[in-house]
Amino acid sequence: MLEIGGEALVLTHDAMAAGVHFLPDQDPADVAWKLVATNLSDLAAKGAEPLGVLLGYQLGQANGRFIEGLRDVLAHYAVPLLGGDTVAATGSQVLGLTALGRATHRPVPSRGGAMEGDAVWLTGPVGAAMSGFDALRAKSGDSLAYRRPTALLREGMALAPLVTAMMDVSDGLLLDASRMAAASGVSIALDSAAIPLACPEARRDEALRWGDDYQLLFTLPQERACPFPAHRIGVVREIGGAPVLLDGRAPSGRLGYEH
């Protein structure tokens, strides 16, 4: 974050690599979409209004398709491309994007403000990107949620004046909730059955650990209502043995995607 001319500028930079963040044979138009949308999701989590992006583009196989996807996603979110650079290099394609936004509310929401007694909320279901990824690999079924995630910019701006803490779920609900808990110095107790799924119930455990859905995870004072339909999935507790509890117990295994 940067203060300039009385405004708070919110800045994000994400790098994505073929084989790590996207499949090497994925449609470059979808890669462009995801690169932009994930950065805009970071802005959404800060309640920021996007001002523009800068692209660092390593030339790849189908640069025309990338440009088409870039044009689509920038038009969809009405965000200008302010600059960038291209580079030719061997090896896995590496892409970088910087997004700039203007904070719409001060203080700017962070993951560090959750208070004991707050309710824990989630904007929508998890597991959609997971199902989409499987569909993409199987070349059968609906893969849109994985290929073209949504940045919840309007929701983030609406929530910014209300929340005590907020972040986007990029690496898995349990992992990101544990990060919010650690940053806030609290424990977060989640009610498994209250967490909405966009996949079969049998995959609930997996879906709680899968990222890429870019839902907003946020905390509100107990008595405060959410201004749009969302899901109340838990409560903030005094710091205890585990940063995140699922139905009263520390969840086992990997909590999400560490990278």
Is 25 labelled as part of a ligand binding site? no
Instruction: Check residue 67 for interaction with a copy of itself (CB under 8 A).
Output: no
Q: Are the beta carbons of 191 and 122 closer than 8 angstroms?
A: no
Q: Mapping DSSP to helix (H, G, I), strand (E, B) and coil, where does residue 148 land?
A: coil
Quote the CA–CA distance of 170 and 168 in Å, as a whole number.
6
- Which range, of 10-18, 193-201, 232-240, 247-255, touches a copy of itself by CB under 8 A? 10-18
- For residue 133, give the H/E element and its range: helix 128-138
96 vs 113, beta carbon nearer a copy of itself: 96
Per DSSP, what are the bridge partners of residue 4?
Answer: 7
Residue 199 Cβ vs a copy of itself, minimum distance, rounded to whole Å: 28
Mode of pairing for the β-strands spanning 187-190 and 244-246:
parallel
Sole binder of a copy of itself in the list 29, 37, 79, 100 (CB under 8 A): 100
Overall residue count recorded for the chain in this entry = 259
Q: Are the beta carbons of 237 and 189 closer than 8 angstroms?
A: yes
Is 84 labelled as part of a ligand binding site? yes
4 vs 202, beta carbon nearer a copy of itself: 4
Q: Mapping DSSP to helix (H, G, I), strand (E, B) and coil, where does residue 18 land?
A: strand
The site string for a copy of itself over 27-66 (x = CB under 8 A, - otherwise) reads ------------------------xx-xxxxx--------
Q: Are the beta carbons of 35 and 60 closer than 8 angstroms?
A: no
- Which range, of 4-12, 110-118, 121-129, 239-247, touches a copy of itself by CB under 8 A? 4-12
Q: Are the beta carbons of 217 and 179 closer than 8 angstroms?
A: no
Residue 189 tokens read as: 């107790």
Instruction: Check residue 198 for interaction with a copy of itself (CB under 8 A).
Output: no
Instruction: Check residue 70 for interaction with a copy of itself (CB under 8 A).
Output: no
Sole binder of a copy of itself in the list 26, 65, 77, 84 (CB under 8 A): 84
Is 171 labelled as part of a ligand binding site? yes
Cβ neighbours of 238 (radius 10 Å): 9
List, as residue ranges, the binding site for Mg(2+).
14, 42, 85, 168, 171
User: What is the binding site for a copy of itself (CB under 8 A)?
Assistant: 1-2, 4-7, 9, 11-21, 51-52, 54-58, 82-92, 94, 96, 98, 100, 102, 259
